[in-house]
Structure 1
């Protein structure tokens, strides 16, 4: 049986779970709820970097990402930050869509899965 490591867990959720050689991140959002899409995307990706490091991984090992945007009008701004963040030699599989997020001030939420 494989062991699981839960990162930043509480009674409702874990921010990340490591199983075997994979790490599964829950949805991450930025802290600046009043900021524009670029700031929120940077903050979100910084949180992902932190969780990946804690799990023993890195952005070059991200295999899949799901990006939820409050509005597809923010697609280009988000992609500007995303494109600078990803390892261009190892781009993950990715999906992006428009959804209603948990707080109307959030503009982006990102879920990622990576190898450890």
Structure 2
């Protein structure tokens, strides 16, 4: 039987889990003080980097990414930050949609799945 490893376990959800060499990240939302989409995107992508590193993966191993924007008009600015972050030649399959987010201060939430090394 394969083991499931969880990271950042809270009452309602875990920040990440690993099963059969695949890392599943919960929706990463801004934790820092940034209020604009660029700053919030940097914050979220840094969290993804940290979680992946802690779980034996990195952004070159991303299998799929889902991006939720509170306002789809922010996609251009978000893409500028994304394009600078994503590893050349390793852009994962990605969906980006507009959706109301749980906190009105959040402009972005990102869900990612990656393979471990």
In which range does the TM-score fall when normalised by the shorter chain? over 0.9
1:60 matched to 2:60 = yes
**Segments of 4+ in structure 1 off by > 2 A?**
none
Closer/same/farther in 2, CA of residues 34 and 48 from structure 1, 3 Å limit: closer
Query: What CA deviation, in whole Å up to 9, does each residue of 1:67-103 have, x standing for no partner?
Result: 0000011000000000111112111000000000000
Q: Any unmatched runs of 5+ in structure 2?
A: none
TM-score by length of 2: 0.96
Q: How many residues align?
A: 116
User: Residue 6 of structure 1 aligns with which residue?
Assistant: 6
Counterpart contact for 1:33–1:105, Cα < 8 Å:
no
Q: Any unmatched runs of 5+ in structure 1?
A: none
User: Residue 91 of structure 2 aligns with which residue?
Assistant: 91
Counterpart contact for 1:34–1:105, Cα < 8 Å:
no
Counterpart contact for 1:61–1:114, Cα < 8 Å:
yes
Cα drift, residue 34 of structure 1: 5.3
TM-score by length of 1: 0.96
2:12 is paired with a residue whose SS is coil
- Aligned-residue CA RMSD in angstroms? 1.0
2:5 is paired with a residue whose SS is strand
- Structure 1 distance, partners of 2:21, 2:50, is 18
